[in-house]
Amino acid sequence: MEFTFPAFSADGRLVSLTDVLGHVRGERWEWRLLDFEGTALPGSTLDAVALERRLRAGTQCVELRFEALLRLAGQMDQPINLALVASPPGDPATRALTIETRDSTDWRVTADDATPEALDDARRIADSVR
């Protein structure tokens, strides 16, 4: 299952990563941030440039528990490019759920058709943006 939706709502409000993650039962997944380019909220502790450099070095992703991911998302002002993967515990090779944005234009959510929990999360996200 794959779908896209605009990164800005009809009234011009940015659809944030926090908004998207609010429809996911994220504690059941292991999360990996593969790519990030964006800005941090004023006053936040997120060093967006350092995070970008770390990920662009290509030697590692950032592995996060869901609570830490929500804190990180809450510090982001605008993700311009972002790739986030959720995998079943102990199975990092399976990309059960992928959440991406490119050029702050659209969000793309992809769920592994063989993973019912990922399909459930993707459907909740899709229902929230209709």
Give 36-75 pLDDT, tens digit per residue. Answer: 999 999 999 999 998 988 888 876 788 999 999 999 999 9
CB atoms within 10 A of CB 29: 23
Domains: count for the chain: 1
Give 113-128 pLDDT, tens digit per residue. Answer: 999 999 999 999 999 9
d(CA 59, CA 5): 31
Whole-structure pTM value: 0.93
User: Degrees (nearest 5) of the Cα angle 19, 24, 25?
Assistant: 140
* Residue 101 structural domain: 2-128
Three-class SS state of 1: coil
Rounded to 10 degrees, what is the CA torsion of 58, 60, 65, 70?
-30
d(CA 87, CA 21): 15
Give 69-104 pLDDT, tens digit per residue. Answer: 999 999 999 999 999 999 999 999 999 999 999 999
d(CA 12, CA 56): 30
